[in-house]
Structure 1
């Protein structure tokens, strides 16, 4: 039996995550997940790939606001769920350009000071519909400021298998999943096609290609070659190193830690088949 063991959201893209016991689903992912994003002076998104210190900006979810704390100096900032500004602008995230809303001058100044470069905080309003990749999803699916899809799922058994191959075990936060489940075999998420959780239908659409963000310690920003070095030995397909699967869904509902995951169908396409064995 497969059951949810973790639910995580990352309200501001590339900043620290927040663990939940219950998560509301929206048309573009878990509620509050990646609805905010930091941009540079060219309105392009910022991430830990270029600014590892973003990992030191930790998040808390309050009743009506986000709280961001910079662990280096202990200072914090409150961000109301409703932006204080109404200005709209086009922002760039990977190959997409979409409309975002400025949040506040205070937030821009605070993040600029912490990152040491001109930075603005933007919010994705409900009116902005950013389509998921049409090569892998049917029309109608949308995403927040996540890289491409509404959610990411990883099995705890997959991380356990990886850690058995590493000299130093890594936490799940290196991979930033929304849904973690217990039970099943390592990498069983690879083949999930149609799953149902608490009455909500979800669809596995694409295995997740991993980048250098997985090599950044989320508490210290120290970088290493792992886990990509080890994953490349047995989770490489073409030029991509794969770990976890992206999900699409377009129905509302509620997920809870402990909910059962019912697998209704499995993928049979070759692109979902990844060798999962190597010499440990």
Structure 2
């Protein structure tokens, strides 16, 4: 029986993730201890988002949740603690920030935090947090004209990949004398085991039986891959890059020939339910 093999929350866009045993499924993505996936984002002095695509050492910024703090560590840096409580309206400073083609309101974290991130990333930057009143929606072209909220994710609330898909890619890499890659190169929120390689591409829904009820996740768009899978998440350096292998068999006409790996997901039932590693998954195929 297919099962949930891994759950990962990424509190800060393009920084390291937190492996979880369980997470709450919300319309905007996974949540844990009231922290949401990609709730924070690093921006430059113009408010535009930064990622590992240009600054691979962002992979080395490690978040952890401790009581009422988000604790951050990076090589050669003292740890930084960020309060999880939202700032009072009279004390908050906001910025207009840009993530891809969207401009949204965000809370601006303080100058100490900006200095810490500037040193860790290696360029002047600031940390911002998605504003409680801000609204950002996934593309209705892919969600079936349904309003699906998302925070600072590239475009959709969740990304799912199967273990078999990575196994297939690694088999192709190893056949050419190259090293296998870990799943974190592709930064999924949900990893499913027990299905065939790339079966997620053809699923209509993933029906998950949890202890607290059923959850239904729907794949809506294949995930086009950018250069980020070439970033070693342990070293924060580029290489080796799997894209040359992926492009030989993963070009997808649905996204204008883009190289895809994994599926972007939305939740259609079971909002606010707990999803756990080990939960059973019933895959309903789209044909």
**Does the TM-score normalized on the shorter chain lie above 0.5?**
yes
* Structure 1 position 229 matched with structure 2 position 244: yes
Is 1:83–1:103's contact at 8 Å kept on the other side of the alignment?
no
* Structure 1 position 186 matched with structure 2 position 197: yes
Per the alignment, residue 229 of structure 2 pairs with 214
Task: Tell me how far 1:83 sits from its aligned partner.
Answer: 4.2
Per the alignment, residue 13 of structure 2 pairs with 13
SS in 2 for 1:11: coil
Per the alignment, residue 39 of structure 1 pairs with 43
Is 2:77–2:120's contact at 8 Å kept on the other side of the alignment?
no
Task: Tell me how far 1:89 sits from its aligned partner.
Answer: 1.9
Per the alignment, residue 286 of structure 2 pairs with 267
* Structure 1 position 56 matched with structure 2 position 35: no
* Structure 1 position 79 matched with structure 2 position 82: yes
- Distance, in Å, in 2 between the alignment partners of 1:259 and 1:126 is 31
SS in 2 for 1:196: strand
Task: Tell me how far 1:215 sits from its aligned partner.
Answer: 0.4
SS in 1 for 2:234: coil
Aligned with residue 172 of structure 1, among 177, 183, 186 = 183
Per the alignment, residue 274 of structure 1 pairs with none
Q: What is the TM-score of this pair, normalised by structure 1?
A: 0.91
Moved more, 81-90 or 129-138: 81-90
Is 2:168–2:197's contact at 8 Å kept on the other side of the alignment?
yes
Is 1:201–1:249's contact at 8 Å kept on the other side of the alignment?
yes
Runs (5+) with no aligned partner, structure 2? none
Aligned with residue 219 of structure 2, among 177, 192, 204 = 204
Deviations 1:36-85 (A, max 9, x none): 001000100010011111111112122222111112x1521111112455
* Structure 1 position 240 matched with structure 2 position 255: no
Task: Tell me how far 1:225 sits from its aligned partner.
Answer: 5.1
Residue pairs, 1:50-199, within 5 angstroms: 50-71=54-75, 73-84=76-87, 86-137=92-143, 138-166=145-173, 167-197=178-208, 198=210, 199=214
Is 1:83–1:123's contact at 8 Å kept on the other side of the alignment?
no
Is 1:200–1:252's contact at 8 Å kept on the other side of the alignment?
no
- Distance, in Å, in 2 between the alignment partners of 1:40 and 1:108 is 10
- Distance, in Å, in 2 between the alignment partners of 1:22 and 1:126 is 24
RMSD over aligned Cα, in angstroms?
Answer: 1.5
Moved more, 78-87 or 27-36: 78-87
Q: What is the TM-score of this pair, normalised by structure 2?
A: 0.88
Deviations 1:178-197 (A, max 9, x none): 00011011111111222222
- Distance, in Å, in 1 between the alignment partners of 2:275 and 2:223 is 22
Is 1:207–1:243's contact at 8 Å kept on the other side of the alignment?
yes
Per the alignment, residue 256 of structure 1 pairs with 276
Per the alignment, residue 28 of structure 2 pairs with 28
Task: Tell me how far 1:234 sits from its aligned partner.
Answer: 0.8
Task: Give the aligned length.
Answer: 266
Is 2:140–2:147's contact at 8 Å kept on the other side of the alignment?
no
Task: Tell me how far 1:105 sits from its aligned partner.
Answer: 2.3
